[in-house]
Amino acid sequence: MTKRNLIVLVILLGAVGVAGYQTRDSWRGDSAVTKAAPPRVVSVEVVRAERKQVPVEVSSIGAVTPISSVALKSRIETTIVGVHFEDGARVKEGDLLFTLDARQIDAQIEQAEGTLARDRAQLVGAQRDLNRFSDLIGKGATTQVNLDNAKTQADILIGTIKADQAALDNLKVQKSYTLIRAPFAGRISAANVKIGNFVRPADTAALATINQMAPVYVAFAVPQAVLNDLRDAMVAGSSRVTAIVPGSDASESGKVAMVDNTVDATTGMVIVRGIMDNTRELLWPGTLVNTRLVVRTEDAVVVPSAAVQRSQTGDFVFVVADGKAKVQPVTVSRTSEGSSVLSAGLKGDESVVTEGQLLLSNGTLVNPRERKAGA
């Protein structure tokens, strides 16, 4: 036997020995049955289903509108002599905003006062003549015509004095227009005129605009299906509206102030107006906000939306009981802020799986752990 054949023979004997060792259980009588693998246990996160009073909400997009808005204009033709506010400032009711030139009106007032004083003096003289003629007519020293003429003159002067007084009062009203004050509290726009500008009532542009900031209206549209519940809530005084500023957590709460008297036939929506205190001025007129309208509350079971799974047969959750996961069909009526409101399927206080559902099937052994707070 050559050296090469000897090497091949050794290799073959080694391979047969390894194969026999690896298959020893098949020819040894005491290892005929192998041990079964332990069952799989899945670690899952659970949370308790909660039965509680849940608000029925309607979400929409709304617009902030001021309750009062006024465009300030001049009621006389004159010149601006004073601007007493900063652009965009907050103003209080009665604050002086503009001062107009009143010199011409002051001169007219003095003239009217002089005319009134003159006519009053003439009335005093006419009344003396009337008294004198009244005495003389009793003595037969004058005629009835003279007495009648004196009485007519006194009545004419009385009417003239009333006209003079009315003219004077009108001029004083005109002078009051030279001081433009804030009719209500709010925020004022930039002044469109400066000192020295000539203004008149026919000007189309306003001197400035004031918008009331607190309270304010928020107008939005809701489906006609919630109209009856909304009207009942308004009667009970339980309607609530929340306006959330987009891009922030800032919000204002209020109540429904008005429901439009007509439903839009093309969209099936009705306009609702909420009133907000807005003391912090979070809601700015013209801003688009997210609104939530609470029309009523109802008793229902609530679970995190992460617990609800979907299949071809409908929604379901995994309920943990006796260390096993069980498929429980549910009916979701609505979702809100990460929670699902169930109308059927759970009674409350069940442990439902919120994480780890992909590894579960009906009857799978589980190792539950409580959901972390804020998860």
CATH 1.10.1660.10 fits 58-67+211-298, yes or no: no
| 8 A C-beta contact, residue 203 and residue 79 | no
Mean pLDDT, all residues of the chain = 88
* Prior bond of 38 cis (ω within 30°): no
Which one is predicted more confidently, 348 or 65?
65
Which pTM was predicted? 0.70
Instruction: State percent of the chain over pLDDT 70.
Output: 89
Which part of the chain is CATH 2.40.50.100? 74-100+178-210
- State the architecture of 44-53+299-370 in CATH terms: Beta Barrel (2.40)
20 pLDDT higher than 60: no
Interacting residues of 357 by C-beta distance below 8 A, sequence separation 6+? 44, 309, 318
Query: Tell me: the pLDDT tens digits for 90-133?
Result: 999 999 999 999 999 999 999 999 999 999 999 999 999 999 98
Which part of the chain is CATH 1.10.287? 102-177
pLDDT at 262: 94
Q: What average pLDDT score do residues 257-270 get?
A: 94
Tokens of 170: 């009108």
Tokens 């939306």, residue?
Answer: 305
Label residue 5 by pLDDT band (50, 70, 90): low
Q: What average pLDDT score do residues 227-242 get?
A: 89
Which part of the chain is CATH 2.40.30.170? 58-67+211-298
Q: What average pLDDT score do residues 202-230 get?
A: 94
Interacting residues of 154 by C-beta distance below 8 A, sequence separation 6+? 123, 126, 127, 129, 130
CATH 2.40.50.100 fits 74-100+178-210, yes or no: yes
CA distance 201 to 81: 17
16 pLDDT higher than 60: no
Q: Which amino acid is at 10?
A: V
| 8 A C-beta contact, residue 10 and residue 311 | no
| 8 A C-beta contact, residue 210 and residue 183 | yes
- State the architecture of 102-177 in CATH terms: Orthogonal Bundle (1.10)
Tokens of 232: 């009942």
CA distance 290 to 199: 42
